[in-house]
Structure 1
Amino acid sequence: MNKRLKQCPVCNSNLDIIEYHCPRCDISIKGRFTIGDLAALSVRQQEFVKVFICSGGNIKEVEKALGISYPTVKSRLKEISRVLCNRNEEYDDRNSLDILAKLEKGDLSVEDAVKAIKEGGNDV
């Protein structure tokens, strides 16, 4: 069975689910159905979430299971958070600009500014 399509292969628009079918009893149920938030994730992101949850949220175990570095794990978590929490890049850009303004005024050191930008800048 094919993975669930999220976008039209012709025009890239979001697809609506309008029918479910049971192959065992050959019944079809038609209507407009919504899918859960996790379906908004790409297949790669869904696999990452599966590994993350199965490892109990232990980043070291995720690193080992996927053969990726700590910064990559954090980056993927941030990417997934943006999708699931409807965060947009503009918000992150504003945080980065605030951090750079504080750096320019001398309120932050270069090291602190770099760290704050990498961590999302929410507590600067």
Structure 2
Amino acid sequence: AQWQFIETFVRCKGKIKDVETALDISYPTVVARLNEVVRALGYEVSEDVAVAEEKRKDVLQKLARNELSAKDALRLLEEGE
């Protein structure tokens, strides 16, 4: 899965919007996958990014438990960008 993401990222010349379209995933998902690649290469992801990822995961978990509406979850995720 990481190789497909990396290949798509390179093919899209690093343009996140193009990666979103090519893989049919959201901006936060592109950023999260890119951070996974960065970590896999042995580099650290900045603390701000790590905090944002945790917030995103928390929002998605609350949505899955029906503690948030889809509209509220989307708003929170967009604020995290």
TM-score, structure 1 as length reference = 0.37
> Can you give the 5+ residue segments of structure 2 that lack an aligned partner in the other structure?
54-81
Report deviation, 1:118. Answer: 1.3
SS of alignment partner, residue 13 of structure 2: coil
**Could you tell me how far apart the structure 2 residues matched to 1:115 and 1:82 are?**
12
**Could you tell me how far apart the structure 2 residues matched to 1:82 and 1:115 are?**
12
Bigger radius of gyration: 1
Percent of aligned positions that are identical:
43
Structure 1 stretches (4+) deviating beyond 2 angstroms?
none
Tell me if 1:58 matches 2:12: no
TM-score, structure 2 as length reference = 0.55
Report deviation, 1:116. Answer: 7.5
Q: How many residues are matched? A: 53
- CA offsets, 1:69-111, max 9 Å, x none? 0000000000110001254xxx87xx4xxxxxxxxxxxxxxxx
More RCO (CA 8 Å, sep 6+): 2
> Can you give the 5+ residue segments of structure 1 that lack an aligned partner in the other structure?
1-43, 96-113, 120-124
- Considering only aligned residues, what root-mean-square deviation do their CA atoms show, in Å? 2.8
Q: How does 1:1-124 map to 2 (within 5 A)?
A: 44-87=1-44, 95=47, 117-118=51-52
